[in-house]
Amino acid sequence: MTEISDRIKLSKFLALILRHKPDNFGLELDEDGFVDVDDVWVRVVNRFHEKYTFDDLLAVVAGDERGKKRYEIVDGKIRALFGHSQVTQISYPAIVPPELLYHGTAAEAVPEILETGLQARSRQYVHMTSELAIAHTVAHRHSNDIVILVIRAQEAHNSGVVFHNPEENTYLARAVPAQFINVGPD
């Protein structure tokens, strides 16, 4: 198998063909963003020749060194879990969330969030996590001046907000009203 650092190229290629430009590679994603894994593998081999093995593909699907999963294979089909720009709303089963979830954001965004709530905007869902450390990591990708928001998820759920849990520690909702959001720990 290929080194972890070298698999990043494979992961980025999968993002390109499964999230952003499937048409450029002759792929047609179904309504849930899935395409036959064999068709994807053909595109990987065409692009990289013998650089990667199918086990490398499976390793990328299994997740990165922090356990973050970006792809899944179900019944011989593969899809990106998040960030699609080419498919309709990806559906996930509804779940009952934990009592609290976290969302890390830039400090400058907080006043608007506390007024209007968390909105998916150009994304399909608002992303939250059950792990405070993950919220910190995500927030620091966008800013050095961050704030962690605490989402009272069970309260929101009880009032009708639908939550999804496509992978361990990651929770999604279309939006979270401001009344369920508090500024959290530093």
For residue 44, give the nearest of 15, 80, 10, 92 by alpha carbon.
10
List the one residue out of 119, 99, 104 whose CA is nearest residue 183: 104
Tens digit of pLDDT for each residue in 118-154?
988 767 788 889 999 888 888 887 788 999 999 999 9
Model-level pTM?
0.62
Residue 5 to residues 64, 114, 134, Cα–Cα distance (Å): 10, 39, 21
Kindly indicate the confidence band of residue 83, based on its pLDDT and cuts at 50, 70 and 90: low
State pLDDT tens for residues 12-60: 899 889 888 888 888 888 877 888 898 889 889 989 988 999 999 998 8
Domains of the chain with bracketed CATH: 4-80 (1.10.10.970), 96-183 (3.20.170.30)
CB 110 within 8 A of CB 183: yes
23 by Cβ neighbours in 10 Å (0-12 / 13-18 / 19+) ranks as exposed
- Each residue of 87-107: pLDDT tens digit? 556 677 899 999 999 999 999
